[in-house]
Amino acid sequence: MNLFLGGGSDRKAIAALARCRQTENEGLLLLFKQLLEETKSSLIEAEGDRIRQLQGRAKVLQDFLEAVEQAPSVLERFR
- Res 79 pLDDT > 80: no
| Residue 15 vs residues 9, 12, 46, 73: alpha-carbon distances, Å | 10, 5, 36, 10
Condensed to tens digits (0 to 9), the pLDDT of residues 40-73 reads 999 999 999 999 999 999 999 999 999 999 999 9
Task: Name the average pLDDT for the chain.
Answer: 94
The model carries a pTM of 0.91
Confidence of residue 7 (pLDDT cuts 50, 70, 90): confident
Establish how many alpha carbons lie within 13 A of residue 19's alpha carbon, considering only the half-sphere containing its beta carbon.
6
- Average pLDDT in the 2-12 region? 87
pLDDT at 9: 81
